Chains A and B, each alone.
Chain A
Amino acid sequence: MDQPAALSRDLIGRESEVIVFEVERGAIRKFAEAVQDQTPECLRGDVAPPTFPTTFRMTIPGLTYDLARVLHGAQEYRYERPLRAGDRVRCRFRVADIYQRKGRLGEMSFLILAMEGTDESGNPVFTGTTTAILR
């Protein structure tokens, strides 16, 4: 397989569309069961576990890479409040930064993605920052 080209810094600032995700009770329960999360509110499907925003998957135009070459380096979430069953969250992803660095495995690209979730009136609910390492 060819070595993939390093990610272009031209992608910085590029955004996904805004997508509205509905937080479904069944999806919360399935997620809590997979994590074996014993929090009663989560097992009942009332309140989403803190890492639930990872289920909101979106693409950014022009940003493609080989999934098998991606390492998840770091992740942050900040919350105004927890997500609850029935919430409709407006989400958007943005390429916050891209840089190259030499590591143990050779030249690697670091991709920083910022995620924002608001309620339907635009009030912030959570933000997320993903650091992905492409080797």
Chain B
Amino acid sequence: MTGPVLSMRHDLASGSVLPDLRKPPITKLQLVKYAGASGDYNLIHTDDETARTVGLDGVIAHGMLSMGFLGEYLCWLAGPESVRRLSVRFHEMVRPGDTLTCRGRVKERTTGTDGSRLQLEVWAENQRAERVTVGEAEVQI
């Protein structure tokens, strides 16, 4: 490890495309683990039968899992001490077998008394390039 990805980049400006972070495919086991770790025991994430009773084909991933991927993305980019904001909308459902990739772009770079901050556009997209979870973030660099 050489530290956060962005610490090497002094050229970041509005519009700069950030490196992407590809996550392993989502599995049912991961959803069970996430249910336990997060305390979200909503059975539509872990029990196909319950999911079907509300009109789904089967279990869907917790929206917060994809937001968790974006949280990791920010830590990878800027380091865990430097994350100031993460705000997302859950656009599309995510199912076991889906592979999400976190991507981002710099919206704005601002300089204040406490150093530089980057306003980012971030999103997680699936293997069909659909943006499933879309948001904004702010990190200190």
By secondary structure, the B interface counts as: helix
Does B13 reach chain A (CB closer than 8 Å)? no
> CB within 8 A of A35: which of B69, B76, B86?
B69
> CB within 8 A of A75: which of B30, B38, B53, B87?
B87
Does A89 reach chain B (CB closer than 8 Å)? no
Query: Please, how many angstroms separate the alpha-carbon atoms of A124 and B68 in the complex?
Result: 22
> CB within 8 A of A55: which of B39, B76, B90?
B39
Contact call B38/A54, Cβ cutoff below 8 A: yes
The interface residues of chain B lying within 8 Å CB-to-CB of A42 are: 72, 75, 80
- Residues 44-70 of B contacting A (Cβ, < 8 Å): 44, 50, 53-54, 62-65, 67-69
- Residues 19-53 of A contacting B (Cβ, < 8 Å): 27, 30-31, 33-42, 47, 49-51
Contact call A82/B72, Cβ cutoff below 8 A: no
Shortest Cβ gap from A100 to chain B (Å): 19
> CB within 8 A of B64: which of A36, A38, A72, A82?
A72
Please tell me the number of chain B residues within 8 Å of chain A, measured between CB atoms: 39
Query: Please, how many angstroms separate the alpha-carbon atoms of A38 and B1 in the complex?
Result: 11
Query: Please, how many angstroms separate the alpha-carbon atoms of A82 and B85 in the complex?
Result: 11
Please tell me the number of chain A residues within 8 Å of chain B, measured between CB atoms: 35
The interface residues of chain A lying within 8 Å CB-to-CB of B36 are: 30, 34
Contact call A57/B85, Cβ cutoff below 8 A: no
Does A5 reach chain B (CB closer than 8 Å)? no
Does A78 reach chain B (CB closer than 8 Å)? yes
The interface residues of chain A lying within 8 Å CB-to-CB of B50 are: 68
> CB within 8 A of B30: which of A36, A57, A68?
A36
Contact call B69/A82, Cβ cutoff below 8 A: no
Shortest Cβ gap from A31 to chain B (Å): 4
| A83-101 contact mask (Cβ, 8 Å, vs B): 1 or 0 | 0000000000000000000
A-B contact pairs, 22 of them (CB 8 A): A31-B38, A33-B33, A34-B34, A34-B65, A37-B71, A39-B72, A39-B80, A51-B64, A51-B86, A55-B39, A67-B42, A68-B42, A68-B44, A68-B50, A69-B54, A72-B62, A76-B86, A78-B84, A78-B85, A79-B83, A79-B84, A79-B85
Residues in B lying within 8 Å of A, measured CB to CB: 1, 23-24, 30, 33-34, 36-40, 42-44, 50, 53-54, 62-65, 67-69, 71-72, 74-76, 80-81, 83-90
Since A31-B38, A31-B68, A49-B68 are in contact, a sample of 19 more A-B pairs with Cβ atoms closer than 8 Å, ordered by chain A residue number, is A30-B36, A35-B34, A35-B68, A37-B75, A38-B76, A42-B72, A47-B81, A51-B71, A54-B38, A68-B43, A68-B50, A73-B89, A74-B87, A74-B88, A74-B89, A75-B63, A75-B67, A76-B88, A78-B85
